[in-house]
Chains A and B, each alone.
Chain A
């Protein structure tokens, strides 16, 4: 099976702009989670979608939003970009097996805000 794919891999934006990142989970996985990774804050959970519904949300401002489509692909949007939004954004798809849930990560989208 193909792994988790994220597009684009790199983005440069300026303050005040908005950005949309895309994630395609592993075929058959219906849950998609998003994380932000920065040198200062580490890896932080943004939100999780399952069957087009947001089930869980981390402690991020409303400028961060997401959605999931019927084919399980997910997008996250950041509006009114700030310098501090520069980060690696990781998407993970989850499979539930007998041993519980396991998340598999994509390569990430590196966002630079100037």
Chain B
């Protein structure tokens, strides 16, 4: 099965600074990749997905991610962090049988 690894379980940025959350995938075939966000005491909300149509994927809330095959990466970025972005972010890869395999998650903290 394909897998993903998220580097950094905690990331702290100042409000207005660039957000960069890292995700690397392990796949021998073009993967379907996703980023989800989880706010406290809530489920997972889909931010964006990569389906090979375009390497730069734009999502909700100003987030985007770039698929780089040469680096097997799918990092999530946002130019300017907002306090409301504080949450846990999960990278995931689709596996057969409607199974998502998730990374360990990255908790984003935004300092005022």
Contact between chains at B98 and A31 (CB < 8 Å): yes
Contact between chains at B99 and A105 (CB < 8 Å): no
Contacts of A4 in B (CB 8 A): 43
Provide the B82-111 mask, 1 if CB < 8 A to any CB of A, else 0. Answer: 000000001010101111111111000000
Contact between chains at B46 and A104 (CB < 8 Å): yes
A84 to B19, CA, bound (A): 34
Contact between chains at A94 and B98 (CB < 8 Å): yes
Known A-B contacts A42-B104, A100-B94, A101-B32; A58 and B99 likewise in contact (beta carbons under 8 Å) = yes
Contact between chains at A101 and B46 (CB < 8 Å): no
Contact between chains at A99 and B98 (CB < 8 Å): no
Contacts of A31 in B (CB 8 A): 98
Contact between chains at B46 and A50 (CB < 8 Å): no
Contact between chains at A99 and B53 (CB < 8 Å): yes
Contact between chains at B46 and A56 (CB < 8 Å): no
Is the C-beta of A108 less than 8 angstroms from some C-beta in chain B?
A: yes
Number of interface residues, chain B, beta carbon within 8 A: 25
Is the C-beta of A48 less than 8 angstroms from some C-beta in chain B?
A: yes
A16 to B7, CA, bound (A): 38
Is the C-beta of A11 less than 8 angstroms from some C-beta in chain B?
A: no
Provide the A89-107 mask, 1 if CB < 8 A to any CB of B, else 0. Answer: 0101010000111111111
Known A-B contacts A90-B43, A108-B43; A33 and B102 likewise in contact (beta carbons under 8 Å) = no
Closest to B36 in A: A105
A6 to B104, CA, bound (A): 24
B102: contacting residue among A6, A42, A50, A100, CB under 8 A: A42
Q: Give the interface of A toward B (CB within 8 A).
A: 4, 6, 31, 33, 35, 42-43, 45, 48, 50, 55-56, 58, 90, 92, 94, 99-108, 110
Q: What are 23 A-B pairs with beta-carbon distances under 8 A?
A: A6-B43, A35-B100, A42-B103, A42-B104, A43-B90, A43-B100, A45-B100, A45-B101, A56-B99, A90-B44, A99-B49, A99-B51, A100-B49, A100-B94, A102-B34, A103-B34, A104-B46, A105-B36, A105-B45, A106-B43, A107-B43, A108-B42, A110-B41
